[in-house]
Amino acid sequence: MASSFKIKLSSGMKPYVGRVVRNGKVQKAFAAQIGTPVGACVRSSVRAGMGAGEIKNAVRQCAKSAKGTKLSI
């Protein structure tokens, strides 16, 4: 399992070095169940020459399908 480190802030606003998991069960489940389908939708709906607002709306429409999804780990 790959992990990296990141500077985080505690509740008392003091910096500390925290571990960040990148290849865990939850991350893999998210990629398979949400990331891949939503990414494919975005790729198919975004065209060359679109403005920033149009791209943002396309991404929002694609993300609506995954909203509220419970991950099966």
Model confidence at 42, in pLDDT bands (50, 70, 90)?
very high
- Rounded to 5 degrees, φ, ψ at 32 are -75, -40
Does some domain include residue 69?
A: no
Q: How many domains does the chain have?
A: 1
pTM over 0.85: no
> In the chain, where do the E strands start and end?
3-9, 15-21
CA dist 38 and 61 (Å) reads 10
CA dist 62 and 66 (Å) reads 8
Does some domain include residue 23?
A: yes
Give the CA radius of gyration of the chain: 17
Does some domain include residue 27?
A: yes
* pLDDT for res 4: 86
pLDDT in tens, 19-30: 888 889 999 999
Does some domain include residue 48?
A: yes
Q: Which domain holds residue 37?
A: 3-64
First to last CA, the chain: 16
